[in-house]
Amino acid sequence: MKIRSLTARPILDSRGAWTIETAIELWNGARAKASAPQGKSTGKAEAPAIPAAAAIANTNDLLSSHAARVDFRDQASFDALLCEINGGSARAKVRLGSSATLAASVAFLRATAQSRGVPLWREVGAAYGEPLPSWADAAKPWLFANLVNGGLHAGNNLDFQEYLAIAKGRTFRESTEIIADLYRELGNALVRAKGKNARNVGDEGGYAPDFSSAEEPFRIMARLAKKLKLGNKVMFGMDAAATDVPRGARSRLGERYASFIRRYGLAYLEDPFGEEEFGKFAALTEKFGGEIWIAGDDLTTTNTNRMARALKEGSVNAVIVKPNQIGTVTLALDAVRAARRYGWAVIASHRSGETDDDFIADFAYGVRADGLKLGAPARGERIAKYNRLLEIEAEAAAA
């Protein structure tokens, strides 16, 4: 697989910030492109990014010239070149940055899939190369939809970042219907209770009005789920993003989470404490890990070294995998393999600053992640992921 051309250009993400889109053409005629999302609530251990203009210039110069000289064996060999050119993990040494390496990595994977005439998710599975979980034919990943936005993702009074509805339909179509119905009913209920401006949304498409308490979103969503007779087809969860919770609101966090779990049957809790508080994570996991998934994101940053520490300290039983946190498809797959060895649940995730690129849906299905965080069913960059999952379902059925 030799590269005829590799070029990058600037595009806007969903917050109006510049990011990178990379296009690759192979000598066999296959062409593909990919763009990189960007986070706002970011862990300090994430792979470093650099300004889009610098990343694009270095992609068009350094990466393009180096890549043209190599006949790549597979995805891993291409990603190894990306890491070599990138220059290291220290921010001062980085030449491409995580957004540029990811965009190139995904574009190469897409071109490879096109060359072989297979769907992208199947090429992801081939690169993963591990036996799929025993439930591989089930309708997973479950959909983790951020229906109420707070924290850094919204301008309201919620300290916690994401209030999640988790749909467990028998098909992606059913799960999408569950989320869409609940989202629509939630919007109507918020308008009745708080006025027409309650339909305003945050970065990930979730509603973002002010609330009377941190519990109110769960209380409203639980009532609506009962009204819609969703039963055990929907669960609730939270991404606290506690590193970014205001200092004055950090007292008694463990007690507040325990209350949410008891009152609303939370099945999932992400980043309940700060990104270096492995011990506090461990205490909460020891208490509730037999009942719910407690996941690391800022804690683990899709980094196998951080994940190994979390395993040693018993900090989590689930992990978020965000490919742009680590910079290449291969390194993201390494994180999935490590999580499976540890017996952890795997939740693939979008970012708050997204593009229309729907790769994360193929990634989640290709490794049969337990969950996929994809935002609310609103805003084009989020809808693209839902629609891709529906397309994947049809492709898998026809295979």
SS3 assignment, position 46: coil
pLDDT the model gives residue 131: 84
Give the span between the Cα atoms of 357 and 337, in whole angstroms. 24
Give the span between the Cα atoms of 364 and 141, in whole angstroms. 7
The verdict on whether 204 is a catalytic residue reads yes
Catalytic residue among 33, 140, 168, 322: 322
With beta carbons less than 8 A apart as the criterion, state whether 48 and 98 touch: yes
Q: Is 28 exposed, middle or buried (0-12, 13-18, 19+ CB in 10 A)?
A: exposed
pLDDT the model gives residue 93: 66
- Helices (H) and strands (E) counted in the chain, each on its own, are 14, 11
Domain with CATH 3.30.390.10 in the chain: 3-117
**Domain 3-117: which topology?**
Enolase-like; domain 1 (3.30.390)
Give residues with Cβ within 8 angstroms of 228, minimum separation 6: 181, 182, 185
CATH pick for 127-398 out of 3.90.1150.10, 3.30.1540.20, 3.20.20.120, 3.40.225.10:
3.20.20.120
Give the span between the Cα atoms of 277 and 271, in whole angstroms. 10
pLDDT the model gives residue 138: 66
pLDDT the model gives residue 89: 52
The verdict on whether 373 is a catalytic residue reads no
With beta carbons less than 8 A apart as the criterion, state whether 52 and 18 touch: yes
Tokens 């900090």 label which residue? Answer: 315
Give the span between the Cα atoms of 40 and 90, in whole angstroms. 20
pLDDT the model gives residue 139: 79
pLDDT the model gives residue 136: 61
pLDDT the model gives residue 132: 79
pLDDT the model gives residue 137: 61
Q: Phi and psi dihedrals of 90, rounded to 5? A: -70, 135
Q: Phi and psi dihedrals of 297, rounded to 5? A: -130, -80
Give the span between the Cα atoms of 178 and 259, in whole angstroms. 26
Q: Phi and psi dihedrals of 64, rounded to 5? A: -60, -45
Give residues with Cβ within 8 angstroms of 247, minimum separation 6: none
**Tokens in use for 156?**
């309201």
Q: Phi and psi dihedrals of 223, rounded to 5? A: -65, -40
SS3 assignment, position 8: strand
Catalytic residue among 21, 46, 123, 204: 204
What parts of the chain have a pLDDT lower than 70? 88-93, 134-138
pLDDT the model gives residue 249: 86
Q: What angle do CA 145, 146, 148 make, to 5 degrees?
A: 140
Tell me if the bond preceding 141 is cis, omega within 30° of 0: yes
